[in-house]
Every structure is written in structure tokens, then in C-alpha cells.
A and B are shown apart, each in its own frame.
Chain A
Amino acid sequence: MAVSTPSSGYIDRPRPSGLADVIEVILDKGLVIDAYVRVSLIGIEILTIDARIVIASVDTYLRFAEAVGRLNLAEADDSQGLPELMESMTSGGAKSKTSGALDAVKEKITGGDDDDGDDDEKKTPSRSRRSSGSSSGSSSSRRRKSS
């Protein structure tokens, strides 16, 4: 889906074609009804891949270590007072490979993006296992504001 910067004043709408955003919005939120019929959902585990599994793994640690090691910090010893240089370096640097792991996850999530390309998804029993015990919602914090 298109990504817009807020400065353009345009608000993105999640589109059915932009599956990742829609999934984030609807997958584990909404009213829960106690009694319901179980239906088999094919491919649901692909949609529920939780990027945070990746975050807390040895692979991710190694990826971070590699990314940190690759940084060119020639100027870092006297980094005070060099914000401009830092800025030009970060904006000028090619998009590093370090986002690879994340991209891979996104690709998996959006894998069946064309409406008929869902056939490659694995069958799941109706009682699908969540890939991790962590559900994003349960860790969310909430607060009310008096407007």
C-alpha cells in the first residue's frame, strides 16, 4: 500500500490490497463472542506471524550486531557537534541490508496478496496455534483522556 508522509496532509486508508495494514487492524481486535461455530481457516498462521518473534531471537541479535558493526563511525569519536554530518550520512546512506529480516516477514505476511494466490497456504486445523504466546493486544496499554 502506498505510504504517505503526514506532511502531505493525506491520510492513508488501509486497502484490501494492502493486506499487511488490514491485518494489523483487524486480526486480533474487535468484539469477541463467546459461543461461535469453529471454522477452518486456511493459512491463518501465515497472517499471524508476529514480527516480535524475530526481534527476540538469536538471529535478530546477530543481525543487529552485524548492522552495528557495519556502521561507519569514523567521525564518532568526536561526534559531539556533528549533527549535520550525521544527518547527511544517514540520509545519504543507501538503505542498508539490515532491514532484510523485517522485509522477509512482511513478504510472508503479504504472500498471498493476489486474490487467487492463496492456494500455496498450508492447511491449519480450526484451532490454530498462535505462533507466539505474545498477543499484541494483551500488552497494550490504555488510557482515557478527558478531552
Chain B
Amino acid sequence: MTDAEGNVYVYGVASAAERASLPDAGVAGAGVRIVEHDGLAAIVSDLDSGTLVAAREVRAHWRVIEAAAADATVLPVRFATVLAGDRAVVEQLLEPQADRLTELLRSLAGRVQLAVKGEYDEEALLREIVREAPAVKALRERVRTRPEAAAYYDRIRLGELVSGEIGRRRARDQQMALASFEGHAEASVANEPRSANGAFDLAFLVSRDKVDAFGAPVRALSETLGDRIRLRYLGPLPPYSFVDEQRAQGAPAWA
């Protein structure tokens, strides 16, 4: 083990036996290498600078993870994680968490994450809401027949009602979508959709050799949903949504 002087940026952890393939350059243009300890391999870059430009490094980070995860199972480490040298990588990551990392690598071996995201056609969704929610329809009429300024609070109330209706449909559609993949994945996570028109954001853990077969339920769901919800199907990804079970998700590494 070379004991690097400076800081070390950590991308992820793989099994040393798998020999993950590494790209030439990682964050800040630095080379990508492995810090190995007891069968575990941390994928790292030496980091001279104390400042990273987020937009650029998100891409660099992803290139490394994508290359490494092409054939090997990689436990992704949260973006912008930096440790104080190789020794810290061993003493603060590989050694103390050896059991957990080894167990995760074992349970995730040969598996990838597939993402299925649904996005509402906003106009169709709003039509549906006006049609099905009498309160929205009534308030809409009221707002339409009054001057814009006079109806200000009614308009806010109308928007709030619509928001609530969207939330209810989101919950329903997410449950329906999730149920349609029953039996096709080993595990699933429903993330909160990030976009205003997002219907659901699902992550599935699927064995590499079943990735092709997973297209069938995706297509079936797409047909069921028709134009109402457009599906996007992404992957294969490293098992991002399945590595931090014991952790509160959402805390960024840089906070």
C-alpha cells in the first residue's frame, strides 16, 4: 500500500477479485486507481485541489462508476466523498466496514439497478382532475368568471386543490406501477418523483441475466398507461438505491 500524501476521492468499493475496469481520468482529471485491503477494492483518485466544480465532477464521477460497474459489482459511495489519504481509505472505510461491505457485495453480486420513471402528460392529467373532482371543477368556474385580481386567493386555492389531486393520483399510480413488477425484481424502491409532472420513480434490483426479460413488464406497463403517463426506462445502473439500507437516505456527503 502506497501511503499517498494528499487527499483521496472515493468513488466506490468493489471486490478485489473482480478487477473492475477503470477509465484513465476521474475527478479533476486525476488518474483512477485501487486501494486494496483484505479482498475489498476501493476505487479512488488522488485529489490535489480542495475545490471541485460540481457540474463537471458529477460527470467525471459517473464515468468512473459506469466503467467500473460495466462488468463488476460496485458499491457506489456518495458523490464528493474525500478521505485523507490511502491510510484513511483503509482505516475509515475498508477495515471498519469490512463485514457490511462484504455482505453487500455478496448480496448484490451479479445484480444491477433498473429505473422506471413515469411522467404525466400534464394536460391529460388536469382534464382528468377537472372531470373527476367536483370541487376543482366548481372553483375553476368561479375563477374563470371573475377578474384575475379579484380571484387571486381562489386561484391559489384552486391550484392547491389541483396539487392535492395530483398527489392522490401519484400515490395510486405508484402503487399500481410497483405492483405490475411483482415477481420480476428481487427488490424495489419507490423514490419520490423529482419533477413537477413526475408520477413515480421506481428502482429495481435485477440479476444481470434477467435485464432483457425485464423489458416485458416495462412494455406491458407502458401499454396499460397509454398516453396518460409516459415511461422512461433507464439502466443498467450500479445498485445506488440498494446500498444504504442502514442509513438515513438523502444526507449529502458534503453537508
Contact = CB atoms under 8 A, between A and B. Distances in A.
B204 to A, nearest CB: 9
Nearest to B249: A137
Contacts of A43: 53-55
Given A43-B53, A140-B191, A145-B185, A67 B122 contact: yes
Interface residues of B, number: 106
Interface in A44-72: 44, 46-48, 50-52, 54-56, 58, 60-69, 71
Contacts, number: 324
Nearest to A142: B189
B249 A39 contact: no
Most chain B CB inside 10 Å of its own CB: which residue of A36, A55, A60, A63: A36
Given A46-B55, A139-B192, A12 B232 contact: yes
A139 B140 CA distance: 32
Interface in B1-43: 7, 10, 12-13
Contacts of A141: 189-190
Contacts of B144: 69
Contacts of A13: 66, 234-235
14 contacts: A4-B233, A5-B222, A22-B59, A23-B58, A29-B249, A32-B251, A36-B253, A52-B192, A76-B137, A127-B255, A135-B250, A136-B249, A138-B249, A147-B183
